[in-house]
Amino acid sequence: MDHLPWTAADLPVLDGRTAVVTGATSGVGLATASALAQAGAHVVLAVRDAERGDAVAATMSGSTEVRRLDLADLASVRDFAQSWSGPLDLLINNAGVAGGRGAVTQDGFDLQFGTNHLGHFALTNLLLPHVRDRVVTLASGAHRAGDIHFQDLALRTRRYSLAETYGQSKLANLLFTLELERRLRRCGSEVRSLASHPGYSATNLGIKGRSKPLVATVNLAGRLLAQTSEQGALPTLFAATQDLPGASYVGPDGRWELHGSPALVGRSARASDPALATRLWEASEELTGVRFDLDLE
């Protein structure tokens, strides 16, 4: 007998639990935060624009809170982490950017790599002493187009390619998930590190600053082919609440992982390389000045 598709209605009761969702003002992040709050969690919307976050939170049911966080500014990441007190059950590293040729973070890194990977790398490590359950980091099928260019991670000398640069940041998300899980197991932590991807969902990712014809084409494709943000959030919600092994990767189970119900999915050989994951972690520590320092006495 076939099982019914897993939906947000299958979320467990999350009363008494606290979640942080980065990039929660639109798209999959907003849908993820809304579903967690409706299931009973206290959800902190960690967003760059607090005023916009307040407006979004006012439309949500359940217990919510807005705190400012700019992942493209390591000083902002440190401020957010230093202001945190008390337990944190779920850290959802959802925020991401695509595009922005020549754009850099406050610290001089390529905007995509700096936001999608380095910002979340620093945030996770700084918050880790508070985390009790799991960290879920959003990746993408685009990771298959990426490689890690250690000689120029900040994209200061390489020629810009959207597919390659975004793919590098998403590959970094999966390698981060893998190495974080290894370090958590080594120090005896009960926290788990997992990854998810939303498939093809209708969001604004990657269209800011694009030409009007391109944006129109993307919007048309979205209307015809894309899942809703609520459907795109399901892999993240599944990874955040179901009993899965550490380092699991969850995505849609449909053709090419574009649509469907959440399920364990595959990843590229590069994304499964533990030596590459360790090397990227060490490079990320040097770039951010933030290190894994979980003391489990």
Residues labelled as active-site residues? 166
* Coil/strand/helix, residue 86: coil
Q: What share of the chain is helix, strand, coil (3-state, %, to 5)?
A: 45, 15, 40
Do the Cβ atoms of 251 and 262 come closer than 8 Å? yes
- Give the Cα separation of 46 and 10 in Å (integer): 25
- Taken in order 285, 289, 294, 295, is the CA torsion positive or negative? positive
- Give the Cα separation of 128 and 115 in Å (integer): 19
Comparing CA positions, the residue from 172, 226, 219 lying closest to residue 199 is: 226
Comparing CA positions, the residue from 1, 39, 3, 9 lying closest to residue 21 is: 39
What is the residue whose two structure tokens read 């979320």? 11
Rounded (5°) CA angle 47-202-51: 25
Q: Any residues with CB less than 8 A from the CB of 44 and at least 6 apart, and which?
A: 18, 19, 20, 21, 64, 65, 66, 67
For residue 20, the cross-strand partners are 44, 91
- Give the Cα separation of 11 and 262 in Å (integer): 13
Which helix (H) or strand (E) is 60 found in, with range? none
Tokens linked to 289: 């000045």
- Give the Cα separation of 141 and 143 in Å (integer): 5
- Give the Cα separation of 31 and 235 in Å (integer): 12
